Chain A
Amino acid sequence: MITIPFHKYGTPKYFYSWSLRLRPWLKYGCILLFTAGLVGGLWIAPTDYQQGESFRIIYVHVPAAWMSLFVYIVMALAGACGLIWHVKLGDIVARACAPLGAWFTFLALLTGSLWGKPMWGTYWVWDARLTSELILLFLYLGYIALQGAIDDRRTAARAGAILAIVGTVNIPIVHYSVEWWNTLHQGPTVSKLDAPSMDTTMLIPLLVMALAYNLYFVAVLFERVRCEILEFERNKNWVNELTQPKGIV
């Protein structure tokens, strides 16, 4: 069995060096994917019969919404690692995830609202998904506020991990209850944010954009984690050696 030395590669020092080596790949991969996705979404994909050109908002709305959920799960898992196994990198990753997740949620809400205006005639509906996204935004803001209010970083990380785990249990409950409440009060409406069966030429740019957003998240997350490592490990020798020119004493 192949044993991966997690405790070696999970330390801040090793993370810094191997993530730095990954950076050019992530950067150019992102540029490539975003270009491909935008070209596919704005040019190649045909105009929707029902919604006209406004459906193109899907290419920035849906990836942002998917990421907002995905980042929350990453945040909760990383926090759990830090809490249960005392993995320092877990704490740092969780803390770095939160603002990114909040921004993704904000973008999902904003673009969803802008899509809603031409479609439903109003900027906001208490539709199940938008309401759940709003609650998710509150979850992120609560997490960020809690970590900001506690002075000791280690305690803050662990308290945040509890909050994230409780939130993860809560998200499906909230989503289900809002959806249930929504269909009961508004009658069976087909969710207009769903493109029921999408043409392949419309679907592929969406998947490309989703991949682009994912790669972007990884790249920016690593950057933020590196910054935190530099800021709070600056008393360690290996950090000072980073800045020395190699081979010269």
Chain B
Amino acid sequence: MHLSTEAIVCAVLAHGEHGAIVRLLTPADGLRAGYVRGGRSRRLRPVLLAGNVVQAEYRARTEDQLPALTVELVHSRAPLHGEPLPAVAIDWATALAAVALPESQAYPHVHAALDGVLSAVEAAPAARGWAAALVRYELLLLSELGFGLDLSGCIATGTRDDLAFVSPRSGAAVSGGAGAPYAARLLRLPPFLLAGGEAGWGDILDGLALTGHFLARDILADRRGAVLAARERLVERLRRVTA
């Protein structure tokens, strides 16, 4: 097996005294793990940071072997680690990909979305510029893993207009009229997830509550406390920004 591709660093696990097992999200081959000899050396530590883009080369004799991986830095996002919100966002977005995606399955849309979120975090002067992209990334990930929400029409009336809620059980949209009596038990569906465009802080927090519910229930059910703690820290920080 020989694979040469550009990829995003998602997880780095120390292995032995000097090596590391690194999981990268590639555009065409999905999440791929590899052993980086000297991965904890002074030279490679700044390269193997979550969120960085690297040129990766995987080599293995057989497909079921953990490949040897060599990496070269293409783009570093380390300067963002010094800022609280971007650092937590990169931590969560990359950890989610590393934990949720099965290995060696192609998810080109998830790769594009993660790259988009990280680029937005880098480019936007404030969190409002990338928080909506983060919600869309989580929604896409749910969909790609088979737990997509059905936002095509109201599950009760069939109408395509006035969709305002999502059922926390079925993941299907509910119209404002049909859902109003049950509003306290339904999740709010922010308009930007249907129509696109700009999103206010209220909508972004509603979006995070929506995706957070289904991520915790369907994707991270067995490791909820551990991984979702990073997300809770992110949401808490975003709430403080908006307060």
- Do they bind each other? no
Interface residues of chain B, those whose CB is within 8 Å of chain A, are none
